[in-house]
Structure 1
Amino acid sequence: MEAAAEKTTTNAAAADPRLDFGKLDFGCKHYRRRCKIRAPCCDEVFGCRHCHNESTADKHEICRHDVQKVICLVCDTEQPVGQVCTNCGVNMGEYYCEVCKFFDDDVGKEQYHCEECGICRVGGKDNFFHCKKCGSCYSTALRDKHPCVENSMRHHCPICYEYLFDSLKDTRVLRCGHTIHADCCEEMKSHAQYSCPICSKSVCDMSMYWRKLDEEVAATIMPLDYRYKVWILCNDCNDMTEVFFHIIGHKCGSCHSYNTRTVAPPPVPTR
């Protein structure tokens, strides 16, 4: 059905050259499109919903589904939301979603509407699947290969605090299943922070680094006064073990991770 709709648009453009007039010549910093929107919340005109959300003084956000009016940038005619301008006959967006009231002339993004997400996404429908538990679309490369966290994408990025579900930025699913912006993750690792800011599990394979710590521990002999045992909790496997104190770090006895923290000893069982 979607393929048929796309074919109809292509055939219509060939039959009526007005549809393609001004394509990619108009738009804002977020999208190339031949229309602006009138925000239903404040009745002001903006290039798109992101332009609205970035410029409003009180930082209120527009609901994409509530947009009712658009202004054609070719002929300046205000009209009800629709793909083709009722006055000059141009496509106000080569890609158009009547659910999201979304227009975009840059179809190279391979936009598609996900019924379960309820919004439009980019990257090609065949390249993504909707994870019902996580509540969002993920790359098909992650199908059956990621730990599910309920509504993982319907939260704010723990680094920049932007809402992840409809963010324009690329996201990354960590080994623990939590989600973060890809650039925020790289920024975090550039500052030698390798644990999830939500659950503290390691965000990547740290085995090589753990081996280096093994060498440092072996080369650093602790004075007699510091040779005592402490209880540690492993952030990676959640096991609790008793180990000798060391200034370099404490290695988990179960998974051999140094991503651990000292804790109070477990309570002694009573009869």
Structure 2
Amino acid sequence: MTDRSLTATGPDRDPVTIDSEVAHTSRVYDFLLGGTDNFAVDRTVAAEAFAKYPGGLDGARTDARANRAFLGRAVRFLAGEAGVRQFLDVGTGIPTADNTHAVAQQVAADARVVYVDNDPMVLAHAHALLRGTDEGATAYINGDLRQPDEILRQAAETLDLSQPVAIVLVGILHVITDDDTPGEHVSALLDAVPAGSYLALSHMTSDGVEADNSPVWSHLDDQMRETNRPAVRPIAEVARFFDGLELVEPGLVPATAWRPDASSGGGARPVPVYGGVARKL
């Protein structure tokens, strides 16, 4: 095993230890997006697993970009048309272009954003997330969706949880298995925020596409048992995360079809990533 210690910028940042020989979801995703904050093991796992994916590795990269573009459009809608000024982004991943705070504060300079992730690599780069506007606020906390009470406790230092909050779960729920009861944790976050809050999520799906992707998920499951195992769900199960909420048009749809613009990405084949935004009544 090879460990590497990195220290995030700032006096309140502790050194973190990263195992460069164990693949992690956030680094695989970073590789698919064309980032450089990943290791050989992440690239190998991605290349081997997505060789069986529709369109191969290039197809996986296309869908990763479509997922990322959905995040930008959803945040832009929330900060703009919906008028939300507070964001809780859980499972943010390694910093890249158009992070939640950058998009939100471009629309509303006073937007407040809290990022949550449990990957040491993300922690090591947290300082890149903490450059927002003077009028707004950005903060990073080391947390796990499976511990919503701890997330809320720390988030309350930056966000006013008595006012509407947009809970952003983009690309995180499909690495939380049913054994970890993700629906309960999503409900706990929603229960802690008032009416007028929103849930924005995207999720890999196991249906709605032409090809059987089970060999891809099986390979990732074998390789990611120590970090984040895949939990790809049918669209009907993804929809249950929105139970009790009012879906914003066009509803839960392929990521490229959610209020598309020039950023939507995708191609001729169906995209197995679905996304939606809903309002708490």
* TM-score greater than 0.5 by the shorter chain: no
Choose 1 or 2 for highest CA Rg.
Answer: 1
User: If the length of structure 2 is used for normalisation, what is the TM-score?
Assistant: 0.23
Q: Is the helix fraction higher in 1 or 2?
A: 2
TM-score, reference length from structure 1: 0.23
Larger RCO of the pair (alpha carbons < 8 Å, separation 6+): 2
